[in-house]
Amino acid sequence: MNSSSSGSLSSVPNGRIIDFETAELRKLPFQDSLYLWVKGTLPGAGFEARLAPRIYQNRPDYWGIEVAVVQAHAPDQSGDTELLHIFERSIPLTGITGNREITVIGANQVKRIDIAGES
Above 80 in pLDDT, residue 82? no
What are the pLDDT digits (tens) for 3-37?
A: 344 455 666 777 899 999 999 999 888 877 899 99
Region class of 91: left (phi > 0), else alpha (psi between -120 and 50), else beta: beta
Res 29: pLDDT = 83
Whole-number Å distance between alpha carbons of 119 and 113 = 13
Please determine, for residue 2, whether its predicted confidence score (pLDDT) is greater than 90.
no
Amino acid 28: pLDDT? 82
Eight-class DSSP state of 59: -
Mean pLDDT of all residues in the chain?
A: 83
> What pTM, to 2 d.p., does this model score?
0.80
Residue 55's pLDDT band (cuts 50, 70, 90): confident
